[in-house]
Chain A
Amino acid sequence: MNILAIDTSNYVLGVAVIKNREVVGEWVTNVKKNHSVRLMPAIEQMMRETDTSPDELDQIAVAHGPGSFTGVRIGMATAKSMAFALNIPVVGVSSLEVLARQGTFFKGLICPFFDARRGRVYTGLYDEEMNVVMEEENIDMKTWLERLHDMKQSVLFISQDESAFREMIEQELGERAVFPGAAHRYARPSYLALSAMKKPASSLHTLMPNYLRLPEAEQKWLRQKEK
């Protein structure tokens, strides 16, 4: 079983090839550069280095968001069209779940998050078995932390945007808040592939990005309609 994993949903560009449960190649960069220009060359090189031809792939795994709207779509367009062209299944995995897997050895709750601006975050809560404890959402960080406070357990916070929220988190949760080192703050595409293996294949045409946020124009339109 050969899987190609693709993640361009946030700053991280991740590509991995997994063969029979073994990670044979993994490529991660964390730079603010154009995913559209770099993704396919990264895939091409990864496949070449691991002696994998496209028609040997059995499945594509893709991070379907939340994250950058455009970034999510670049990965999804690539993954869906490759799955279509090769007639193989594609599996969408939450970008938050992929990030949460960086906390695999942590005993307690795991809270991955991405900055969604204006004090808001895209976040969700997982237990150590990767079961969803609280569904992912786009929420005000203060409100979210109040909920976590009430749960009275240690929480591992995994985020590249840790520094922007660290003070707020420590205020709310004190010693129960745990932060990993820098090497664990980035989503790894190998975890994306391994997550995908545990999930049923998505339907090609209906697999959609999970933006967790309406377009600006639609929010405005809805507000006006309410008036």
Chain B
Amino acid sequence: MTWTTLLALIGCAGDLDPPSIVKTPRVLAVVASPPIAPPGEDIELTAMVVDPEERPLRLSWTACSRFEALGGQSNLQYGEEPPTEGCVEGAEGVFDLERRGDTGIISGLLTSLVYEDLEVLAATYGDQLPPDLLRFVVETSGLPVTIGLTVRTGSEELVRSFKRVLIFTGEPRGTNPPEPRFAITAGEDEHWVSARGTDEPFTCVPEDGEVPVLDAGTHVVLTPDPDDAAWQEDYRIIDARGDVVDRHEDSYYSWFTTGGVFEEEQTQAPLRDNVWRVPRRPGFYPLWLVVRDGHGGTSACRAEVEVR
């Protein structure tokens, strides 16, 4: 924060776009259900992808488990073809865009994780990780598998992303945060939107049934459901020294829109509130909220407001 402030103070940011304003094709969230699973159990992957040009998209994925990536690094970073050893390719599909007003496209992909049992997993590590030690890791902290996602339109690659899941045989297993719910407060008016109780994926609907209407150019406060401590979980890791230590999840909120300005790109409990300066141009605007727990769990939704 301090360095960002310093750079802003000396005017270094220039014309660079802030991450919270969506102008280009983006993967805003990837949800693995569940995020932590034993070998052989299905994991459903869904991605909240936005393309302002509303083009047909195709998603492809790979799953890689390699010793070199135990630290959770992506295998997609170096401008080269990702290594295939230890990787499994999944299915591809073409999905039509689902429109929500003028912007906001959501698509999803169902797949299952192909590591049938520990022997298959151990074979991918070979001599680098002895079987007994691999079993210990899988029972204690979980072993990371990197899921790579590539979004294309036609033959053009739009964006690449990756997400980690854990192969874990211990208890308890981590879960995703509940679907988001947040308040939009303009002055005395408070509007709650929620993705709970709706069948539409990644969609927050007004709890009172009315799309919030906001005055152009005003400031509104966005407040996530403050009851986040209830879903935060404890878990164990093997730290950098090789010791087993406890960790605790937290709640992280990432905010996105297509107009106006957020005061913060991300918020975190207890300072979970954000302030949005509403765009000056009237119209319908999306608000995306992605909630993460810092342990692979994710939930996300899109809400819509009207600006007059």
A binds B: no
Residues of A in contact with B (beta carbons under 8 Å apart): none
